Structure 1
C-alpha cells in the first residue's frame, strides 16, 4: 500500500468579510491534446477552480496518459478536472453541473476545445451530481473527481460514500476528493473504510486525497 504527501505553501490573502474570493478569469489545461488551452471562468459564489499546481500534482500521480479510463467529474464547475482528463486520452469523461450558468459555460468552453478533438467521448450534463451518482452501477467508473463547494459538507460526504461504490480503480484511476483545510484527512478517510488516501496534499485553504481501493 503506497502513501505520498505534499504540502504546497502559498500565502493566502484574507477574504473580505461577507464576500467570496474571486476566481481567476482564465485557467489553463496543463497537459495532453489541449495543453495550454484556456478555459473561461465565471464569477459564481462557491465556484473554486482547482489550481494549476494542484492539477499538475494530481495528474503526475495519475500518470500522463489515461487511455481506457471512464471518468466522472462531479460538481464540474469550470470543468478543469474533467477536461484535463479528456485531454489526456481518457476513454470517456462525463461532466456534471447543476448550475445553469456554469453548465452553459462548460458547453461554450468545450465548443472551443473541439478545434482539436480528443479520441475519447466527452459528455456534459445539466444534472445534480449526487443524484446521478446514485443511479450508477457498482464499479462502473474508473476515475471520479469530487470537488463540491466547501460549505456543502454533507454533500461531499454523501458523494464520497457513493463514489466508493461506483469506482473500480483496478486498471488505474481512483477517487480524487478535494475538501476544506478545516477537515482532517483522518475524518475523510473514515467515510470510506475500504479505501486508502495514499496520495495527499495541502494547498492553502484546501486539502485533497487520491483514494485507492484496499481491495487490490
Structure 2
C-alpha cells in the first residue's frame, strides 16, 4: 500500500500484512484509491474538493484515504478509528508523512462522535466494515454533532450501494470490483 499521487506520491505506508479480520481492516486498494481520487479531480460534481479541504476520515482503518487527500493538497485531516491495531497503523502512517501538525486521531466509535469542538469538515470519507449498516449511524452522528459542513462532499465506500440518509443528495456512483463508491452532497442549510 502506498500514496498514489501528490506530494507524497510513491511513499510506502505501513503494511497491514494479511489484514486483521478481528479489527475489520480492509484497506482500500491502490487501484480503487487512484480511481476515486481521479473521479474527485474531474468527476463532474463541481471543482476538485480535495485542495484546501478539511477532511473527516470515518472508520479510518490505516488512514490511507485521509493521507492520500493530504498528499493531494487537503489542509487538515481528522481520523476517527476505535480499533487498537488500526490506530497504531494510522499513527505510523502519519509519522511517515510527517503530518502530525495537520492531523488528529480520534479514538472513538464513529457512530458515537459527540459534539465537534472544531471546524466542520467539507470532505468526508466513510469506509465502514462492509455489510454491517454502520455507515448510516456514523453519518447521522457526524451530522448531528456538527462534524460535517453544509455542502460537504461525502465519499462512501461499501459492498453494496448504500441508502443515503435524509439531507444527502446523490452526486455519483461507481463500482470497482466488489466495492461501490457513492458520492453525495450534504444539503445546504
Q: Is the 8 A contact 2:112 2:138 kept in 1?
A: no
Unaligned runs of 5+ in 1: 1-26
Runs of 4+ in structure 1 over 3 Å off: 162-166, 213-216
| Distance in 2 (alpha carbons) for counterparts of 1:51 and 1:174 | 21
- Out of 148, 154, 176, the position equivalent to 1:167 is 148
CA contact (8 A) 2:49 2:153 kept: no
- Separation (CA, whole Å) in 1 of partners of 2:10 and 2:97: 11
Shift of 1:83: 0.5
Instruction: Give the one of 122, 132, 148 matched to 2:128.
Output: 148
> CA separation in 2, counterparts of 1:61 and 1:104?
30
Aligned pairs for 1:62-141 within 5 A: 62-63=40-41, 66-114=50-98, 121-132=102-113, 134-136=114-116, 140-141=120-121
Quick one: structure 1 residues 127 and 32, their matched pair in 2 at CA, closer, same or farther if it must change by over 3 Å?
same
**TM-score for the superposition, normalised by structure 2:** 0.81
Could you tell me which residue of structure 1 aligns to residue 176 of structure 2?
A: 203
- Aligned-residue offset at 1:65: 7.3
- State which structure, 1 or 2, has the greater radius of gyration over its C-alpha atoms: 1
* Unaligned runs of at least 5 residues, structure 2: 42-47
